[in-house]
Amino acid sequence: MIKGTLFGLLACFIWGLIFVIPGFIEEFSSIEVVFGRYFFYGLLSLVFFISKGKRYPLSLWKRALGYSLVASIIYYLSLVLALRFATPPIAAIILGLAPIPITLYGNWKEKKCDYLQLALPCLLLLVGLVMVNAPHFINSPTPLLFTFGLINGFISFATWSWYAVTNAEFLKQNPHVRSEEWSTLMGIANLIWVVLFILPVAFFYSDTPLVTKYFLFSPSIKKFILGSMALGFVCSWVGGFYWNKASRILPISLSGQLLIFETVFGLLFVYSLEGAFPSLLETSGIILLLAAVSYGVHLTSRGKAKAPEVQENVSQS
């Protein structure tokens, strides 16, 4: 349980970068940020795949393609749009709600503890999330753009919640698929979607005549490449690898609660970059979030049905 929790926290720490890296490449559109991230994720995965030389069944490829379309392309595009049009604080609150339905669904599937017991940590998560983000609320942009961003925020919330549950169930049911293998297969699936989408998007995208900008190696292009590499190599492959390991070990109800730390670490990165300290209200909210997850860990660990740690197949191919 402790090992799985540490893996989950490490993944959330890495994923916290997705809240700040797009801010360094604001000159590029949301679609370019998404394509850049998953192009480099897929490129790294392709190198790993070729070096291993292992074959996988068609059913596994189909699942990877489905998961990557929903949990990568659709999820991250909608998140970037929400960050830019509904403001980061509102996007963080919406996405931060994901641990609550994941926790409740996971408990329904695995029956770790009574629902009344889970009500308190879920309520603490909600209150703490609002407290952490409340000071960051600013005047909304035009109503139409704000609504568009809000809709995308809920799309990212729905897709990420679905993925966190189904991916955990898949990994528990298929211990022969190693965490690094699944992260690699997901990366290649993302690369396939990028290749399939890039031509029709380029056809309709108004910035098409400026496609030559990618070959000029200007300072902005260098920042875009470095940012995309960080998002693809670190956030996608490494973060996904550690989350897969955590998902094998932890009950879904507990891994769902840990996801709140993606938002917490994201905010801490923002504070560090701005050279600021969280306010008293924000600090209280973070403490409340920590208390909620700690209580959730306590409830899950003392549950009657202990979740067995699923050992990964360590045989080398």
- Residue by residue, pLDDT tens for the chain (317 residues) are 788 889 999 999 999 898 788 888 888 887 888 889 999 999 999 999 999 889 999 999 999 999 999 988 899 889 888 878 877 767 777 777 787 788 777 777 766 667 677 778 888 888 887 787 676 655 555 678 878 888 898 899 899 889 988 998 999 899 999 999 999 999 999 999 999 888 777 666 555 445 667 777 788 888 999 999 999 999 999 999 999 999 998 888 778 778 888 878 887 887 788 777 777 887 888 788 778 877 776 776 665 334 444 445 433 33
Residue 300 makes CB contacts below 8 A (sequence gap 6+) with 1, 112, 113, 251, 253, 254, 307
The pLDDT score that the predictor gives to residue 141 is 54
The encoded tokens of residue 112 equal 């770790």
Question: What does the block give as tokens for 263?
Answer: 């938002």
Measure the CA–CA gap between 142 and 17, rounded to whole angstroms.
28
pTM over 0.95: no
63-to-41, 80, 122, 182 alpha-carbon distances in Å: 18, 25, 31, 10
How far is CA 82 from each of CA 46, 51, 312, rounded to the nearest angstrom?
30, 38, 37
Q: Where are the domains of the chain?
A: 2-205+218-301
CA distance 197 to 191: 10
- Please state the φ and ψ torsions of residue 111, each to the nearest 5 degrees: 50, 60
